Amino acid sequence: MTLYFRRIEPEYWLDDPPAWLDPDDVEGRQISDLSYRMKTNTISVYALPDAGASTLTRVCAAMVATRQRVEDITYFVFDDALLQRASVQIDKTVGATGDPAVDEWHRDLVRIAGTSLVRLARELRNCDALRTLKEDIESELVFALGTEKRYPHPPQIAAHLRKKALI
Amino acid sequence: MRTVRRPYIHPMSHYPNSGNWGGLCIEPADRDSTSLVTDASWTTIAGGTAHPKSADVGLLYADNWSEHRNWATDVLPQCQTHRRGRVASTWAAAAFAVSTSSADFSLIQNRTDPSEAWYGFSSGTSCRAVDLTESSTLLLARFATPSEISKELSVMVARSQFDDFEFGVESRFERTFSEFLRRYGVVAQDASVRWIAANADKNSPVAVRMVLVLGGEREGVSSEGRYHLLTWLLQSSSAAVRDAAARTLFRVPDPRVREALKTAAEQESNSRVKRFISQLADRITADL
């Protein structure tokens, strides 16, 4: 069984379903979160070697490394059974975070159509959401940049960490 | 024990070289009284102007009111050296706006009871010594928000629909909202909290970003102020807003935060948010 990681915007998934929503349906904004800036009918996920805290933090740190600031990251962790229920296929594609290991874990959910998007959102809606706090992500980044020299090129976030005198 | 409560626009304009100064000032009912010492409450907090390019904000305070009888020689110089700074006084404070324009306001907030604040708008280019409670030329509202500021907030929210709220990137809305809070101080905060209370269920993405900015570290806002604001927002009808309030509160350096989060977790009805808030409370416990 493989576990997958998908980052979400918590405000689209945390509120209780609105009264007008059919129980079998999903909110439009949840679809929007999954398909944010979708250009190639794919959804980016990470196949996790394990669901331990260090692996999750490493993925989060890699995602933040390409950004301007560190934030808490909220995400779903789900298994292949969920993808099967949603009838979604998966392809291995290399990620672009700058962390070679995390990039290796990158996958694309492919051939995403309207119905598969709704099915996927419906399945994910019932998943447990998890969160890694930005303090842990910062520590991981400091470790990755300072001790491990994990990123071959200085990530964008390095400027933020320098500003906070963390590196 | 409070014997203050006489807010008025202080007559600064006639002081030499002071420009068009004016401000809202809380004074003891009896100037010879030392009651402000025991009251120990009035502080900060904001002065503002609708025209930041042509005006500036000054903060003025007196550490010991009884020693500062002469505003011109004792107090005014301090005012000019505390622009855009936080008032350190515990006994008496006043906020002043200096301007060449109209529609400036000043605001004073009660530190021990943050829900109590007084502010005033001056309608002229220079201020007169008028008791605000009697003046027809001034707009004074207690616990009310000037319509101009609410309107500006509404426009900002309406424009946010064109914003990308992108992960790890400061949005245009967050930038303009931070500037809005900086410019109008507690009055803007009041307007924002009202907006969140009324609209969080309809527009939680914007409400969440407001909470993160409102509760974050801001110039002139104390940990105490952030604590009160965020614990209040933990009562929001929107689970996403409660979640945002909790993780912002988690970062407020206040010893009461852990207990507040534990209580919030116990009372939380949304299972996901309950787990997230518990995670924060547990984290503080582990770090102790």
In A37-56, the residues whose Cβ lies within 8 Å of chain B are: none
Neighbour tally for B17: CB within 10 Å: 6
CB contact under 8 Å between B169 and A64, yes or no, is no
pLDDT above 50 (res A144): yes
Chain segment A4-29, per-residue pLDDT in tens: 999 999 999 998 889 999 988 999 99
Task: Kindly list the residues from chain A whose CB atom is less than 8 angstroms away from the CB atom of residue B238.
Answer: 15
CB contact under 8 Å between B272 and A69, yes or no, is no
pLDDT above 70 (res A107): yes
Mean pLDDT of B250-271: 95
pLDDT attached to residue A12? 93
**Paired sense of beta strands B92-99 and B55-62, if any:** antiparallel
CB contact under 8 Å between B247 and A16, yes or no, is no
pLDDT above 80 (res A33): yes
Give the number of A-B residue pairs with CB atoms closer than 8 Å: 60
Mean pLDDT of B242-265: 96
pLDDT attached to residue B101? 31
Mean pLDDT of B108-129: 42
Mean pLDDT of B17-32: 40
Task: Kindly list the residues from chain B whose CB atom is less than 8 angstroms away from the CB atom of residue A64.
Answer: 168
- B143/B48 Cα distance (integer angstroms): 17
pLDDT attached to residue B146? 61
Residue that wins the pLDDT comparison between B36 and B185: B185
- A34/B176 Cα distance (integer angstroms): 27
Q: How confident is the model at residue A90 (pLDDT cuts 50, 70, 90)?
A: very high
pLDDT attached to residue A26? 95
Mean pLDDT of B235-252: 96
pLDDT attached to residue A161? 84
pLDDT above 90 (res A121): yes
Smallest CA–CA distance from A131 into chain B, residue: B276
Phi, psi of B42 (to 5 degrees): -75, 130
Q: Nearest CA to A17 among A137, A142, A122, A103?
A: A122
pLDDT attached to residue B83? 31
A10 CB near a chain B CB, below 8 Å? yes
- B205/A123 Cα distance (integer angstroms): 22
CA atoms A117, A55, A146, B283: torsion sign: positive
- Structure token digits, residue B51: 């025209």
Point out the residue among A12, A14, A68 whose CB comes nearest to the CB of B168.
A68
The DSSP element (H or E) to which A116 belongs, if any, is helix A114-125
pLDDT above 60 (res B1): no
Chain segment B62-81, per-residue pLDDT in tens: 333 333 334 334 443 443 32
- B207/B229 Cα distance (integer angstroms): 14
Chain segment B140-173, per-residue pLDDT in tens: 233 334 667 788 899 999 999 888 888 899 999 9
The reply to whether omega before B26 is within 30° of 0 (cis) is: no
pLDDT above 70 (res B248): yes
Residue that wins the pLDDT comparison between B259 and B110: B259
What ipTM score was computed for the predicted complex, to two decimals?
Answer: 0.93
Q: How confident is the model at residue B250 (pLDDT cuts 50, 70, 90)?
A: very high
- B15/B60 Cα distance (integer angstroms): 15
The verdict on pTM exceeding 0.80 is: no
Q: Nearest CA to A142 among A164, A122, A124?
A: A164
Mean confidence (pLDDT) of chain B: 62
Mean confidence (pLDDT) of chain A: 92
pLDDT above 80 (res A76): yes
pLDDT attached to residue B186? 65
Residue with token string 């209370």: B197
CB contact under 8 Å between A11 and B204, yes or no, is yes
Mean pLDDT of B269-283: 96
Q: How confident is the model at residue B181 (pLDDT cuts 50, 70, 90)?
A: confident
In B142-181, the residues whose Cβ lies within 8 Å of chain A are: 165, 167-170
Give CA B229 to chain center in angstroms. Answer: 10
Q: Where are the beta strands (DSSP E) in A20-87?
A: 43-48, 73-79
- Structure token digits, residue B71: 């505003």
